[in-house]
Structure 1
C-alpha cells in the first residue's frame, strides 16, 4: 500500500502556516437549487457542518456568493465560536444577480466590499484564507484585482491570499506579486483539464499542479467528483468494485494518493453522503491501482 500524508500545510513557508487535515469540506451544496437561497433541509445542513468538525475536518470552503451569504451564515450558526484549529477559506471575485446568474465582482472596491461582508457574516476579524476567483468575460485586469487582494492582506483583513480558476500564466503572475498560499481549480479523475461550459471556462488542475508542487502550494480541487462526461471510462468503477466502495469514494481516494499537495473538499447536502465521502480516507490504493487509474 502507498503511504500518504494525513495533513497538509497552507502557506508552509510563511511565519503563520496553517496545518489542516487533508480532507476538507466544501459548503456550496448546502444552498438551495442553483446554488441560491436557503437549503431545502436547514437542520440537516447544520448537522453536516457540526459532523464535519466533530469528525476532525478542520478546513471549510465557502463564499459570500453562495446563497447569497447562505453558507457563511450556516457556518456561523452551526460552529461559532470556532475551534482554534478550524480554517475557514472563502472566495471573492464574483457575485450573483437576481436571475441567479454569476458575474464578475472584482474591482478593488468590490473586492473590499466582499471581504467586509465575509468578515461580518462569519463573525470574524480576519479571514484566514481568501481565494481570488477569476471569472470569465471580466474586464478588470487580473493584476489590478491581485493588487487589491495583497493590499487587504497588508491591512490585516486577510491572513493568506490564494487564487482560483487560474491558468499557469495567471498563477505565475500572482506569485510574482506576492505570496500565494493555495490554488483552487477544477480537478478530479474524470475532469483534469480546462472544461469549457456555456458560462465560460473552468480551468483545470493538471495545468497548474506542477507549479503548485514545486512551490509547496496546496491545490484545492473543486468539482472533484465530476465524471459524467467520462462514462466510457470505467476504471473508477473497476477499482470501486475491488474495494467494495462507491465511485465517489474512489475519486476522493485517488486525489489523496495523486499528490501530497492536493486538499480535496467534496461537498454534499446529505449527511449520509457526507459520512460516505469521509470514509474515502480509509481506502489505501496500491501503486498498481494508481497506475491503472493514470
Structure 2
C-alpha cells in the first residue's frame, strides 16, 4: 500500500500516527447490517489482511451486527499490535426489528463504551466517535460532556464526532479536544442528504474546511456507496484513463482532495478489498483533479 501517514490528535500528549487509508467494518455483517457475515472465514481474513497490507486504522461500532464486527476484530487480531488504532462509534443502537435509534443519554453512552471495551477485549479505546442521530431529544452538549467525562476517566483516549453539522462541530471543539470527524463525504456527495436510517446525514465541504483549518482528520463514510450513482461521466472518464475501476478513482480522488482526509472503504469481499488498496497507487494529476471538480 502506497500512502502517507496522518497524525490524529497531533497536539495531545498521545498522538496517533496512522496510514491515510483505513478499513470500515460495517459491511462485514450480514444483510441489513445485521447478524453474522455470509462468509465468516473471508471476513476474518480481510481483517488479518488489513495488518499485512499496512492498514492500521479500523473503524467499527457495537451496533454493527449487533456486536458482530467487534467480535470479529477481537477474534482475528487480538492481542492487538501497538500501532493498530481501533475506532468505534457510540450514540446509536438497533432494535430487534433492525431499526436504528438514538442511544445517546449519558447512561446510554457509558453502557455502549463498557460494551465496546468488553467485546474488543481492551481497557481503553483509542478513538471513539459520538454519532449524532436525529430525534433523540438529548441536547448535543449533554452527550458530548459524557464523552469527555469518560475520556477523563481513561476509558477513551481520544474523542471524535460523527454526522455533525458545522455548528455542532464548533460546539464540540469549544468543549474539548476533538481528534477526528466522521461524516459522509465523497466525490458525488458533499452536502447533506436524508438516509433511510438515521435521519438527516450531514456532509460536506463546510465541515471539511473546519477540519483543515484545525488539523483534524476527516474520516469519510459511505464515500463509495454515495459516489457510485452516475450523476455525470467524469469519474468513468478518469477511470478509463488509468485503466481503473470507478470505485478506485473515487478513493484516489479522496486521497488527493485533502491531506486531512482518511478514507475507510469497507467491503466483505477480499477481492474488492485488494482492489480498493490499489487506489493508493493511483496518482491523479492537477488536470485530473480540475476535471473532476
Aligned residue for 1:237? Answer: 236
Tell whether 2:76 aligns with 1:78: yes
Contact between 2:3 and 2:21, CA under 8 Å: does it hold in 1? Answer: no
- Consecutive aligned runs of 4 or more in structure 1 exceeding 6 Å deviation: none
Q: Distance in 1 between matches of 2:228 and 2:277?
A: 24
Gaps of 5+ in 2: none
Q: Distance in 2 between matches of 1:260 and 1:250?
A: 16
Tell whether 2:251 aligns with 1:248: no
Q: Distance in 1 between matches of 2:163 and 2:231?
A: 27
Secondary structure of 1:219's aligned partner? coil
Gaps of 5+ in 1: none
Contact between 2:179 and 2:217, CA under 8 Å: does it hold in 1? Answer: yes
Aligned residue for 1:174? Answer: 172
Contact between 1:249 and 1:277, CA under 8 Å: does it hold in 2? Answer: yes
User: Which region of structure 1 is more displaced relative to structure 2, 192-201 or 105-114?
Assistant: 192-201
Relative to structure 1, the CA distance from residue 75 to residue 9 in structure 2 (aligned partners, 3 Å threshold; closer, same or farther) is: same
Contact between 2:27 and 2:267, CA under 8 Å: does it hold in 1? Answer: yes
Aligned residue for 1:124? Answer: 122
Q: Distance in 2 between matches of 1:31 and 1:136?
A: 24
Aligned residue for 1:154? Answer: 152
Q: Distance in 1 between matches of 2:196 and 2:185?
A: 18
Q: 1:283: Cα distance to partner? A: 0.0
Aligned residue for 1:95? Answer: 93
The alignment's C-alpha RMSD in Å is 1.1
Contact between 2:160 and 2:181, CA under 8 Å: does it hold in 1? Answer: yes
Q: 1:79: Cα distance to partner? A: 0.3
Tell whether 2:202 aligns with 1:203: yes
Contact between 2:186 and 2:227, CA under 8 Å: does it hold in 1? Answer: no
Aligned residue for 1:62? Answer: 60
Relative to structure 1, the CA distance from residue 229 to residue 47 in structure 2 (aligned partners, 3 Å threshold; closer, same or farther) is: closer
CA offsets 1:39-62 (integer angstroms, 9 cap, x no match):
000000000000011100000000
Aligned residue for 1:113? Answer: 111
Contact between 1:190 and 1:225, CA under 8 Å: does it hold in 2? Answer: no
TM-score by length of 1: 0.97
Q: Distance in 1 between matches of 2:261 and 2:272?
A: 21
User: Which region of structure 1 is more displaced relative to structure 2, 225-234 or 145-154?
Assistant: 225-234
Contact between 2:221 and 2:263, CA under 8 Å: does it hold in 1? Answer: yes
Aligned residue for 1:24? Answer: 22
TM-score by length of 2: 0.97
Q: 1:232: Cα distance to partner? A: 3.2
CA offsets 1:63-97 (integer angstroms, 9 cap, x no match):
00000000000000000001110000000000000
Tell whether 2:219 aligns with 1:217: no
Q: 1:202: Cα distance to partner? A: 1.0
Q: How many residues align?
A: 291
Q: Distance in 2 between matches of 1:18 and 1:65?
A: 25
Relative to structure 1, the CA distance from residue 129 to residue 231 in structure 2 (aligned partners, 3 Å threshold; closer, same or farther) is: same
Secondary structure of 1:12's aligned partner? coil
Q: Distance in 2 between matches of 1:198 and 1:38?
A: 22
Contact between 2:159 and 2:177, CA under 8 Å: does it hold in 1? Answer: yes
Q: Distance in 1 between matches of 2:196 and 2:64?
A: 20
Q: 1:36: Cα distance to partner? A: 0.5
Q: 1:205: Cα distance to partner? A: 2.6
Secondary structure of 1:221's aligned partner? coil
Aligned residue for 1:134? Answer: 132
